[in-house]
Amino acid sequence: MPANKRPRRVNYAVNKKGPKGGSKVVNAVKHYKKLQEREKFEGKTKWIENAYKVVLAKLKKYWINPNKI
């Protein structure tokens, strides 16, 4: 196999929304909803602010508008 070929055995799709991506989009939406509930219960904490940064980056990567969730 030449060195310039991509590896065929790597099936993990980072940016896909399709079947290889599994339920990444669904899990990102669940995570966002769970953070909203937790923020209502605990208030704005530093941990929740940092978690929002991570979740919003995921939603942006999957082209999901957080205002429509």
What is the per-residue pLDDT for 7?
Answer: 65
pLDDT tens track for 16-65: 666 666 788 899 999 999 999 999 999 999 999 999 999 999 999 888 99
Alpha carbons 58 and 52: distance in angstroms, whole number: 10
Q: Residue 2: which pLDDT band, with cuts at 50, 70 and 90?
A: low
Q: Look-up: residue for tokens 């790597």?
A: 10
Q: Cβ distance 33 to 69 under 8 Å? A: yes
Q: CA 47 from chain center: how many Å?
A: 17
Whether the pTM exceeds 0.85: the reply is: no
Nearest to 17 by CA among 29, 6, 9: 29
Alpha carbons 17 and 41: distance in angstroms, whole number: 31
